């Protein structure tokens, strides 16, 4: 089946890719592909958001690698690979999700363009394009809100071994999705440049089957302002300029970008939280945000669009579409019930399953392993399994999932769909708590216990089945068992 190449540009790109990884891990399914290949473009190699996403993708890969039978649905049901691993044994590029930009580490922009070596007219022209502050920018922390710098540096991607390998591995039925912000430097610069180089592949030379790229099915999400920054003296990034930059970029996109994209998704939020000012030197670790998860859903929507709606002729989509994301019920704090029916249909069941799985990992697994019926045979899952490298990857991934939910809950706008580790599992999915009627007509909560109820569901799910390995059983059983539990005990979650 076809591949999906996801280009995640800048810090926002990494955070959206992280959200997509959690969605795919929970079992959110994308059509028209069975392999996702992320390529991260960010000059800020020590960006904490980038590093957290790399760690998450590594653990996802470890979990898939530890399964004898690779699932095609449910938990971890989508293959996510580096470009190197997608190519296979003949690959000559590094086995990493991150494209390493050349000439940016500990280097000022003036050195990158050899400003001092330019002749008089060229130097004067460069001074018109770039301020002294631009020229003095150290690029190892990114382009600090300057897309004019970013567009110059990121254009090197077209000449790289990674771009060549991407082009060689791109098939006629493959798709591309580009994730970027519009109000900063890296994303605002990288999206138009990358799009131009893909659509203009035939002009680059030495690209095999350049028509595949020229006529590729391309989607993109451009993330408008959804957070602010605290004030700081002598700041390199001015949050007051976010809206002005967005308007200017949108004006350019209207003619220079929009006609070249099959499906362009716009998203932003006027409910914003001021993040601690950090242009990059402090690591730039931003809290996860609901907008990033919604942006990841744009990728799902694009992949669930049929081929006929994404036709391209001579590098131009024949029917480009532009979409926005909205919620059904507005609010500063939102839950699954606030979302539109189409969104709930995609994420409510998978994420609810993952929340129950997370609770079981935290509250029950060490007591259950080797003792509860579901764990005793075909094969047995004993306490020794809990010391395996596979289980360690599952725990690390779950820790990231919990942190992701915690950060979205604390952000503005807040997204708090779940109560993890609830004593009553009926309270796990906020707003969908099961109720029972009393003899006098009132309602009370239904008590759902992790031992009496979830364990029993897992026992029934495992009954009569044999699995290829402990790891296979663990993932498949909990994916199927938590789904059955939601359907039987939390049916309101499925009320779309």
Residue extents of the structural domains in the chain: 3-104+142-325, 341-494
Mean pLDDT (whole number) for 56-79: 98
DSSP character at residue 313? E
More confident call, 228 vs 53: 53
* Tens digit of each residue's pLDDT (9 = 90 or more) over 9-22: 988 999 999 999 99
- pLDDT value at 133 more than 80: no
- pLDDT value at 241 more than 90: no
Least confident of 28-37, 140-149, 326-335, 406-415: 140-149
Predicted local distance difference test score (pLDDT) of residue 383: 96
Predicted local distance difference test score (pLDDT) of residue 378: 95
User: Is CATH 3.30.160.70 the classification given to domain 3-104+142-325?
Assistant: no
Predicted local distance difference test score (pLDDT) of residue 185: 64
The CA distance from 442 to 461, in Å, is 34
The answer to whether 428 and 418 have CB atoms below 8 angstroms apart is yes
The model's pTM is 0.91
The answer to whether 339 and 416 have CB atoms below 8 angstroms apart is no
Mean pLDDT (whole number) for 376-398: 98
Under the banding of pLDDT at 50, 70 and 90, the label for residue 117 is confident
Predicted local distance difference test score (pLDDT) of residue 92: 92
Reduced 3-state DSSP string for 173-241? CCEEEEEEECCCCHHHHHHHHHHHHHHCHHHHCCCCCHHHHHCCEEEEEEECCCCEECCCCCCCCCHHH
Predicted local distance difference test score (pLDDT) of residue 286: 86
Residue 441 has phi, psi (to 5 degrees) of 95, -10
- When the pLDDT of each residue in the chain is averaged and rounded to a whole number, the result is 90
- pLDDT value at 252 more than 50: yes
Mean pLDDT (whole number) for 189-202: 89
- pLDDT value at 142 more than 70: no
CA neighbours within 13 Å on the CB side: how many for 365?
20
Predicted local distance difference test score (pLDDT) of residue 282: 47
Alpha-carbon 228 to chain mean position: 21
Least confident of 147-156, 236-245, 336-345: 236-245
What tokens does 253 get? 């996109």
Residue 275 has phi, psi (to 5 degrees) of -75, 155
Under the banding of pLDDT at 50, 70 and 90, the label for residue 70 is very high
The CA distance from 56 to 94, in Å, is 18
Residues in a beta bridge with 9: 41
Predicted local distance difference test score (pLDDT) of residue 283: 46
């Amino acid at each position: 089946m076809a591949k999906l190449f996801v280009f995640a540009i800048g810090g926002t790109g990494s955070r959206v890719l992280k959200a997509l990884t959690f969605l795919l891990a929970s079992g959110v399914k994308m059509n028209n592909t069975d392999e996702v290949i992320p390529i991260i473009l960010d000059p800020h190699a020590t960006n904490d958001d980038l590093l957290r996403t790399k760690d998450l993708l590594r653990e996802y890969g470890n979990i898939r690698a530890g399964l004898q039978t690779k699932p095609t649905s449910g938990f971890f049901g989508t293959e996510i690979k580096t470009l190197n691993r997608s190519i296979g044994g003949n690959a000559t590029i590094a086995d990493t999700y991150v494209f390493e930009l050349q000439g940016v580490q500990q280097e000022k922009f003036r050195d990158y363009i050899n400003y001092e070596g330019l002749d008089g007219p060229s130097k004067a022209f460069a001074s018109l394009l770039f301020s002294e502050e631009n020229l003095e920018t150290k690029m190892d922390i990114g382009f600090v809100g300057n897309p004019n710098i970013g567009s110059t540096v990121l254009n090197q991607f077209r000449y790289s071994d990674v771009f060549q390998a991407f082009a060689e591995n791109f098939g006629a039925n493959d798709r591309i999705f580009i994730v970027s912000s519009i109000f900063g430097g890296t994303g605002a610069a990288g999206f138009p440049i990358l799009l131009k180089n893909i659509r203009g592949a035939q002009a680059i030379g030495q690209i095999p089957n350049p028509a595949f790229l020229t006529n590729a099915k391309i989607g993109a999400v451009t993330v408008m302002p959804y957070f602010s920054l605290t004030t700081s003296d002598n700041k390199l990034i001015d949050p007051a300029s976010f809206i002005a930059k967005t308007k200017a970029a949108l004006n350019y996109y209207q003619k220079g970008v929009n006609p070249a994209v099959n499906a362009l998704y716009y998203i932003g939020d006027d409910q914003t939280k001021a993040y601690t000012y950090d242009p990059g030197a402090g690591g730039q670790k931003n809290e996860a945000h609901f907008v990033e998860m919604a942006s990841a859903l744009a990728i799902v929507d694009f992949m669930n669009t049929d081929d006929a709606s994404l036709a391209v002729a001579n590098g131009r989509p024949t029917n480009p579409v532009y979409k926005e994301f909205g919620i059904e019920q507005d609010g500063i704090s939102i839950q699954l019930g606030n979302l539109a029916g189409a969104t709930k249909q995609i994420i409510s069941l998978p994420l609810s399953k993952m929340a129950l799985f997370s609770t079981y990992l935290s509250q029950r697994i060490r007591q259950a392993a080797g003792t509860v019926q579901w764990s005793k045979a075909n094969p047995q899952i004993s306490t020794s399994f809990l010391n395996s490298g596979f289980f360690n990857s599952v725990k690390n991934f779950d820790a990231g999932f919990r942190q992701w939910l915690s950060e979205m809950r604390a952000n503005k706008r807040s997204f708090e769909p779940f109560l993890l580790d609830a004593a009553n599992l009926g309270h796990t999915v906020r707003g969908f708590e099961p109720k029972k009627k009393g003899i006098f007509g009132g309602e009370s909560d239904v008590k759902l216990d992790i031992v009496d109820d979830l364990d029993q569901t897992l026992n029934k799910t495992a009954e009569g089945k044999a699995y290829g390995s402990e790891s296979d059983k663990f993932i498949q059983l909990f994916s199927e068992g938590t789904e059955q539990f939601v359907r039987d005990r939390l049916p309101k979650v499925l009320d779309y």
